[in-house]
């Protein structure tokens, strides 16, 4: 009897231990091995909401706001919790199709059943208001606030840039970003991304079974505060920028205006341009495709990326190099011999100043010939090579053939042909001055970007140096100088005295009879300028003008490049003079000239209402 009782007790104990062990194994499996149950349980109790910081605002040089933030909302989803969703109701509230709603769900589920992801981004305040009343009916969904960029003036699209959703490759390069985040895609938004974006925070909140937030978790013990991005104080003059874009309506080309003493960019225009408000919000992708496919290429930043032959503005550094190398003097004269290179009709130029004023092609043909052919070697091929190598060193000191260091990511270097280039093209000792003489007047293989042309105008204004063109003066409320800007003076190896005859010629080009830039004349302002005609093998030539004003203590240096517009003195010079007058006096008195410039167009903008 005793043995039977012991056996029964043992069996009962074994049964209890077995059941307990089975329960223990199952709990271990649920809580440790099968993570999804833990995640679901926690998600039903607490939610980690990313707190997106406000992106830094951008101002012009006078404190006018160029870019600000507007509140929008993202509808987030945890796919594993979105069970038995009324897709018809949700689609109606979001003003999308039911098929589109289901497709978004499938995409989010494929990414992760348990992770948070964006279901519908950038919901307006009005849509959010309607959705909020029904949100309790959609388990697994919640709303997260963020900001969207807005532009009070539709200007400076190529400078300011745009912000878009981060790509997978960008996430791979920088762990700060997660799917659904936004990042600067171009312009200042891209270059100063780290300064503008700020620092994300996290808010941990409790939610009930109806998906309703019930307050902070443990009194906000685990919350972190978002830190807003730094403000940018740009160098742009918003009024000048707007006026420049207005004058460029219906034209192709660019304008770059610089304060020569500081290198601060006052205006940077690429035409055609577009309203930067087109590339924000839910319409960004559709508008981007329209702009991308536009035959006028409004997304292409001509001021920084387009290579052009500079034409006769290239005669300015040629004259300076010729005098520095002592192959000419300020009073050297040459006959206007059209048998060497074509030219317009004018008297022979008997000095550097007259050569610049009348823009004589044969004059600068002779200057370049003397620079290249020094007679240092009896072999003309070797002699030309030696001369070009010396010329190459000096011409590059003007910031040509290299990136200038502007605080925008897409600026190009332009192109200056050197001896190695001609060796590859013609073969070593197979070329001489007679092969490359077109370089003397800024044609042939030379390629400059308009930013470099404006920088050349700054060098002339400063009589021998430039500061790197830049677009941001200060960063943050304490207005710290941008660490990306080199504000030191870059001197060209040309004696100061040689600038005087060249500047005299630039003054004469605008103010004296026979000057090629007479249409840049302003009766109250001493403008110095140089016109150019950039040869175009595919159609009508391009018009070029560079200049600065006033003649002494200049406050603005400018380049204007107009595609397919002919001679530089016809339209580029007067357009530049209007901008100079606007900047220096705050108004335009020559309304008749303003109307003429506005009326001149090279294409019909109405073909694409989004571009202008």
How far is it, in rounded angstroms, from Cα 71 to Cα 146? 6
Q: How many CB atoms lie within 10 A of CB 26?
A: 11
How far is it, in rounded angstroms, from Cα 376 to Cα 213? 86
How far is it, in rounded angstroms, from Cα 522 to Cα 481? 35
Of 39, 131, 47, 42, residue with least CA distance to 93: 131
360-364 contacts at long range (C-beta below 8 A, 24 or more positions apart): 360/334, 360/336, 361/312, 361/440, 361/441, 362/334, 362/335, 362/336, 362/337, 362/338, 363/334, 363/336, 364/315, 364/318, 364/319, 364/440, 364/441
Place domain 47-234 in its CATH homologous superfamily: Penicillin-binding protein 2a (Domain 2) (3.90.1310.10)
| pLDDT score, position 388 | 96
Place domain 238-607 in its CATH homologous superfamily: DD-peptidase/beta-lactamase superfamily (3.40.710.10)
Residue 457: Cβ-neighbour burial (10 angstroms; 0-12, 13-18, 19+): buried
Q: Is the pLDDT of residue 249 over 70?
A: yes
pLDDT in tens, 577-588: 999 999 999 999
How far is it, in rounded angstroms, from Cα 4 to Cα 527? 120
pLDDT in tens, 518-540: 999 999 999 999 999 998 888 89
pLDDT band at 23; cut points 50, 70, 90: low
pLDDT in tens, 481-501: 887 888 899 999 999 999 999
pLDDT in tens, 304-316: 999 999 999 999 9
Directed axis angle between helix 315-324 and helix 361-372, to 10°? 40
How far is it, in rounded angstroms, from Cα 38 to Cα 546? 69
Percentage above 90 pLDDT, the chain: 64
Instruction: Please name every residue paired with 490 in a beta bridge, in sequence order, or none if there are none.
Output: 466
Q: Under DSSP, is residue 167 helix (H, G, I), strand (E, B) or coil?
A: coil
| pLDDT score, position 35 | 45
Lowest mean pLDDT among 286-295, 443-452, 544-553: 286-295
Q: What is the pTM of this model?
A: 0.86
Q: Is the pLDDT of residue 36 over 60?
A: no
How far is it, in rounded angstroms, from Cα 130 to Cα 116? 22
* Residue 422: cis peptide before it, omega within 30 degrees of 0: no
* Residue 276: cis peptide before it, omega within 30 degrees of 0: no
pLDDT in tens, 592-610: 999 999 999 998 876 565 6
Mean pLDDT for all residues in the chain: 89
| pLDDT score, position 137 | 87
Q: Under DSSP, is residue 485 helix (H, G, I), strand (E, B) or coil?
A: coil
């Amino acid at each position: 009897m005793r043995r039977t009782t012991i056996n029964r007790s043992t069996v009962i104990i074994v049964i209890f231990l077995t059941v307990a062990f089975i329960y223990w194994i199952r709990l271990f499996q649920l809580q440790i091995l099968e993570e999804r149950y833990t995640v679901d349980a926690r998600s039903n109790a607490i939610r980690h909401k990313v707190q997106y910081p406000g992106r830094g605002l951008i101002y012009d040089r006078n404190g006018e706001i160029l870019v600000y933030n507007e509140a929008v909302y993202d509808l987030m989803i945890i796919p594993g919790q979105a069970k038995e969703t009324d897709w018809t109701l949700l689609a109606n509230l979001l003003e999308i199709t039911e098929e589109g709603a289901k497709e978004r769900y499938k995409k989010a589920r494929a990414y992760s059943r348990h992770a948070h992801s964006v279901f519908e981004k950038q919901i307006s305040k009005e849509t959010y208001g309607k959705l909020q009343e029904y949100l309790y009916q959609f388990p697994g969904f919640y709303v997260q606030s963020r900001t969207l960029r807005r532009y009070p003036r539709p200007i400076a699209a190529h400078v300011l840039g745009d912000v878009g959703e981060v790509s997978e490759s960008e996430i791979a390069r920088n762990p700060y970003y997660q799917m659904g985040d936004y990042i600067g895609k171009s312009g200042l938004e891209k270059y100063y991304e780290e300064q503008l974006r700020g620092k994300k925070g996290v808010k941990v909140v409790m939610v009930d079974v109806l998906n309703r937030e019930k307050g902070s978790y443990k009194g906000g013990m685990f919350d972190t505060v978002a830190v807003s991005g730094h403000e940018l104080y740009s160098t742009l003059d918003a009024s000048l920028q707007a006026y420049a874009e207005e004058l460029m309506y219906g034209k192709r080309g660019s304008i770059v205006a610089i304060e020569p003493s500081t290198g601060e960019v006052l205006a940077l225009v690429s035409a055609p341009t577009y309203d930067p408000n087109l590339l924000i919000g839910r319409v960004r992708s559709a508008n981007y495709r329209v702009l991308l496919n536009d035959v006028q290429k409004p997304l292409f930043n001509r001021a920084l990326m387009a290579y052009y032959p500079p034409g006769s503005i290239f005669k300015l550094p040629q004259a300076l190099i010729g005098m520095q190398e002592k192959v000419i003097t300020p009073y050297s004269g040459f006959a206007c011999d059209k048998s060497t290179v074509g030219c317009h009709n004018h008297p022979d130029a008997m000095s550097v100043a007259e050569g610049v004023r009348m823009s004589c092609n044969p004059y600068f043909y002779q200057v370049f010939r003397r620079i290249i052919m020094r007679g240092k070697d009896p072999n003309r091929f070797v002699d030309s090579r030696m001369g070009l190598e010396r010329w190459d060193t000096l011409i590059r000191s003007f910031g040509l053939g290299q990136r200038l260091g502007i605080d925008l990511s897409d600026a190009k270097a332009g192109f200056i042909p050197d001896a190695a280039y001609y060796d590859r093209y013609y073969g070593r000792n197979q070329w001489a001055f007679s092969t490359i003489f077109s370089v003397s007047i800024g044609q042939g293989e030379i390629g400059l970007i308009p930013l470099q042309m404006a920088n050349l105008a700054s060098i002339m204004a400063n009589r021998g140096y430039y500061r790197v063109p830049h677009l941001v003066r200060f960063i943050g409320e304490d207005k710290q100088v941008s660490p990306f800007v080199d504000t030191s003076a870059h001197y060209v190896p040309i004696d100061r005295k040689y600038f005087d005859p060249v500047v005299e010629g630039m003054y004469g080009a605008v103010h004296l009879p026979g000057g090629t830039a007479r249409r840049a004349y302003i009766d109250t302002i001493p403008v110095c300028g140089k016109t150019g005609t950039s040869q175009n093998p595919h159609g009508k030539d391009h018009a070029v003008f560079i200049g600065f004003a006033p003649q002494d203590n200049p406050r603005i240096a400018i380049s204007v490049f107009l595609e397919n517009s002919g001679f530089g003195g016809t339209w580029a010079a007067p357009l530049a003079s209007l901008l100079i007058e606007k900047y220096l006096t705050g108004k335009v008195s020559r309304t008749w000239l303003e109307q003429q410039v506005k009326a001149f167009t090279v294409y019909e903008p109405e073909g694409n209402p989004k571009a202008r």
